[in-house]
Amino acid sequence: MSDHALSPSAPARPRIPAVPGVAVALVGLSVLFAVASPGFLTAGNLSNILVQSVILLLLALPMTLIIMTEGLDLSMGAVLTLASLVLALIVVATQSLMLGLAGALGVGLAFGLANGWLVASLGIPPFVATLGTLGAAQGLALIVSDGQSVVGIPRFVRLVYSGEVAGIPNPILIGAGFYALFHVLLYHTRFGTYVCALGGNREALTLAGVKWKRLLISVYMLGGAMAGVAALLMTARMNAGHPTAAIGMEFDAIAAVALGGTSFEKGNGWIFGTLMGVLTVGVLRNGLNLMAVPSSVQVACIGVLVIFALFLDGMRSKKS
Amino acid sequence: MSLAGDVSAGTPRIHLSKDMQQLLYRLLAAGLLCVALSVATDAFFTANNILNVLRQASLLFFLASGLTLVILTGGLDLSVGANIGLSACLAATVIKATGSPALGTLTGLASGCAIGICNGLMVAKLRIPSFIATYGMLWVLHGVTYYYMAGETIHGFPPGFRHIGSGYFLGIPIPVYLMIGFLIAGTVFAQRTVWGQQIYAIGANPMAARLSGIPVDRRLILVYAFSGAMAGVASIVFLARLNSAEGDIGEAMTLPAIAAVLIGGASLFGGVGSVFGTFVGALILTLVLNGMNLLAVNASWQPLVTGVIVIFAVWLDMVGRKRS
């Protein structure tokens, strides 16, 4: 019963159910769409799903860590939007991708720092703190853009999304790189072990002399930085900065994490589950698109899926 | 002996409970805001503008008063804004189809209440944390509403119905009367009934409430149903005022409603707060937004200011808790 509390390496490896629900959902949905629409199971469409899922993956990876600390970041979509606008404005003005990316990362890190500070130092519940910063980011996005789209993005920015290396589209390479990074970060570094402990056993961290507040702030900053990276891909994909571009995207990210079996309590997180959760959301949206189901219904479907996943999670934790 | 006790207890200075003190500070803040705005702009202290502020505050108050009960139990309802959207669109459809404002009003209230009951069931029976359950509900409602409306607008309602939102009685807008009615009813319910006190008890200590025999699950479902029903009320008044229904009608109201409750002194940790406090909170927030309007501040600043106010209000609560 208490054995995992004593062994230091145990919390880093969460208990994974024999057949995870998310795998069943992913395979089930894929089979369903393959039968329902002939266009689904083609190489072109499958690669399309992967490419389109990358931006969501970039948000869902840090969201996994944030949720593992019993936190939440509702501001991610709005911060992504703001970062994308800042990037677009800088790139259009200076023609420098590096400066633009630096601006986007700066916006992300600043909001991450604010979120982390509010949650860790002031002790404000994360869902309210990040709801407040969501309002702030949304307002700033409207203010810097004056409610207009930023157009005239140079070609070299577009190439970030549409280009390819050795036949593999750039977004897939970027997604794979960050997935590997987060896998190593969570499972093979001390930082990852501490992140697990932040959700499961904060007391132990304090007793071990870890400055957990700083650690928690850095987790939120990681989320902000990834929103900045995602802003680059988003701007390149849309070929514009738009003041309402990614509003609500944090919901898809939270949905992917919840589907992937990361628990909102006790710090159990699973990076591979998040990847499958992202793909599940991607397959669902793509399949429903092919069947000409409107985007609004897709959102409702994801909402129902999330509530169902949380219900299952609650059942599981009640049993154990 | 009892006489002697009375005399010694009768200290000469006025003693106020801590909650009353907090409330007085807030009323003082609202008063100062009024004075500052009267000095800063000529347009503020006019009968028209004051009535306008009260009418705007009433919409916010409908939403925030239901939310207050949810927050008193230590929960949160993020779906209230999306609830307004769907309820308003359904009510509009019924009014258009049947020509009967009464049926439409009933539809709006019933839909709001039904959504609230779903939230309550998820929180009480499925044990999903309230902020995430209602956040999921937000997007489900959002999707259903947008699908249902398909970008269309329903507008043009009978004058009798529009009276609810834009009419006057004795020179005062109808919604203000409704606000006062709900303020009294809500205060009596929360402070003077067993159910109200049980709601406070659940927020203060859920375990103790359960052990002392309070039917916690049923009370939780009740507060979410109440919050949903108040979103239904808000949707009707909103609809009558705007004279048109769109899918995104209540979207921007969730954050201000939460802000009003928190400015009003309610604690996110449950058990602390009052309907009257929320009334003062709604007034303060409306004064701030109205003042920004009069000072010609771009409307884009409103979400930013509301967000900062939410965080500031929670922080004040945290500081207060640490000190006590």
Residue range B17-37+44-323 in CATH 1.10.3470: yes
**Predicted pLDDT at B62:** 94
**Predicted pLDDT at A174:** 93
A300 touches chain B (CB under 8 A): yes
Residues of B in contact with A134 (CB under 8 A): 255, 307
Domain map (residue ranges) of chain A: 47-248
Contact across the interface for B306 and A118, Cβ inside 8 Å? no
Give dist(CA B19, CA B16) in Å, integer.
8
**Predicted pLDDT at B195:** 93
Contact across the interface for B132 and A314, Cβ inside 8 Å? no
A144 touches chain B (CB under 8 A): no
Between A118, A127, A300, which is nearest B311 by CB? Answer: A118
Between B140, B298, B310, which is nearest A303 by CB? Answer: B140
Whole-number percent of chain A with pLDDT over 90: 40
Domain map (residue ranges) of chain B: 17-37+44-323
Q: CA of A163 to nearest chain B CA: how many angstroms apart?
A: 34
Q: Find all residues with CB under 8 Å of B135, minimum gap 6, and list them.
A: A74, A127, A251, A254, B78, B79
Query: Which stretch of A4-18, A153-167, A183-197, B144-158 has the lowest confidence by average pLDDT?
Result: A4-18
- A179 with A249: CB under 8 angstroms? no
Q: CA of A177 to nearest chain B CA: how many angstroms apart?
A: 30
Could you count the other beta carbons within 10 Å of the beta carbon of residue B252? 14
**Predicted pLDDT at A310:** 78
Residue A252 corresponds to which amino acid? D
**Predicted pLDDT at B13:** 61
**Predicted pLDDT at A14:** 52
Query: Which stretch of A227-236, B19-28, B76-85 has the lowest confidence by average pLDDT?
Result: B19-28
Residue with tokens 């771009």: B298
Average pLDDT score, chain A: 86
| Residue B171: both structure tokens together | 């020179």
Q: Which residue of A lies nearest to B129 if distances are taken between CA atoms?
A: A264
Render pLDDT for A143-188 as a digit per residue (tens, 0 to 9): 998 888 888 888 888 888 888 888 888 999 999 999 999 999 998 9
**Predicted pLDDT at A81:** 95
- Of the residues A115, A121, A138, the best mutation for testing chain B's interface (the one with the most B CB atoms within 10 Å of its CB) is A138
Residue A260 corresponds to which amino acid? G
For chain A, what is the total number of helices (H) and then of strands (E)? 14, 2
Q: Give one DSSP letter per residue of A178-222, joined into a string.
A: HHHHHHHHHHSSHHHHHHHHHHH-HHHHHHTT--HHHHHHHHHHH
Give dist(CA A182, CA A65) in Å, integer.
9
Render pLDDT for A53-69 as a digit per residue (tens, 0 to 9): 999 999 999 999 999 99
| Residue B6: both structure tokens together | 């009375």
For residue A226, CA distances in Å to A138, A181, A257, B38, B100 come to: 18, 12, 15, 46, 52
Render pLDDT for B55-68 as a digit per residue (tens, 0 to 9): 999 999 999 999 99
Give dist(CA B234, CA B64) in Å, integer.
10
Average pLDDT score, chain B: 87
Give dist(CA A51, CA A75) in Å, integer.
24
Render pLDDT for A193-206 as a digit per residue (tens, 0 to 9): 888 888 877 888 88
Contact across the interface for A131 and B258, Cβ inside 8 Å? yes
Nearest alpha-carbon partner for A199 in A214, A212, A184? A212
- Chain B stretch 50-79, residues whose beta carbon is closer than 8 A to a beta carbon of chain A: 76, 78
Render pLDDT for B2-17 as a digit per residue (tens, 0 to 9): 444 444 444 556 666 7
Q: How many CB pairs under 8 A join A and B?
A: 139
Q: Give one DSSP letter per residue of B54-93, joined into a string.
A: HHHHHHHHHHHHHHHHHHHTT---TTHHHHHHHHHHHHHH
Over range A104-133, report the average pLDDT.
Answer: 93
Would you call A84 exposed, middle or buried from its count of C-beta atoms within 10 A (0-12, 13-18, 19+)?
A: buried
B133 touches chain A (CB under 8 A): yes
Residue B112 pLDDT exceeds 80: yes
Backbone phi, psi, residue A186, to 5° = -80, -40
- Of the residues B254, B304, B321, the best mutation for testing chain A's interface (the one with the most A CB atoms within 10 Å of its CB) is B304
Between B139, B147, B307, which is nearest A134 by CB? Answer: B307
Q: Please give the distance of CA A68 from its chain centroid, rounded to a whole number.
A: 13
Residue A11 pLDDT exceeds 70: no
Angle of CA points B203, B308, B66, to nearest 5°: 35
Beta strand B172-173 with A168-169 is: unpaired
| Residue B168: both structure tokens together | 């006057």
Render pLDDT for A278-320 as a digit per residue (tens, 0 to 9): 999 999 989 988 888 888 888 888 888 888 887 777 776 666 5
Band of pLDDT at residue B1, cut at 50, 70 and 90: very low
| Residue A245: both structure tokens together | 């571009």
Band of pLDDT at residue B324, cut at 50, 70 and 90: low
Residues of A in contact with B307 (CB under 8 A): 131-136, 138-139
**Predicted pLDDT at A179:** 96
Q: CA of B307 to nearest chain A CA: how many angstroms apart?
A: 4
A125 touches chain B (CB under 8 A): yes
Between B129, B147, B255, which is nearest A264 by CB? Answer: B129
Supply the DSSP symbol for B169: E
**Predicted pLDDT at A319:** 61
Q: Give one DSSP letter per residue of B261-319, joined into a string.
A: HHHTT--TTSS---HHHHHHHHHHHHHHHHHHHHTT--TTHHHHHHHHHHHHHHHHHHH
Supply the DSSP symbol for B45: T
**Predicted pLDDT at B23:** 82
**Predicted pLDDT at B43:** 82
A291 touches chain B (CB under 8 A): no
Beta strand B172-173 with B168-169 is: antiparallel
Residues of B in contact with A298 (CB under 8 A): 143
- Chain B stretch 170-199, residues whose beta carbon is closer than 8 A to a beta carbon of chain A: none
**Predicted pLDDT at B180:** 93
Could you count the other beta carbons within 10 Å of the beta carbon of residue B33? 18
Q: Which residue of B lies nearest to A305 if distances are taken between CA atoms?
A: B136
Over range B194-210, report the average pLDDT.
Answer: 89
Residue B111 pLDDT exceeds 60: yes
- B52 with B172: CB under 8 angstroms? no
Whole-number percent of chain B with pLDDT over 90: 41
**Predicted pLDDT at A5:** 42
ipTM: 0.80
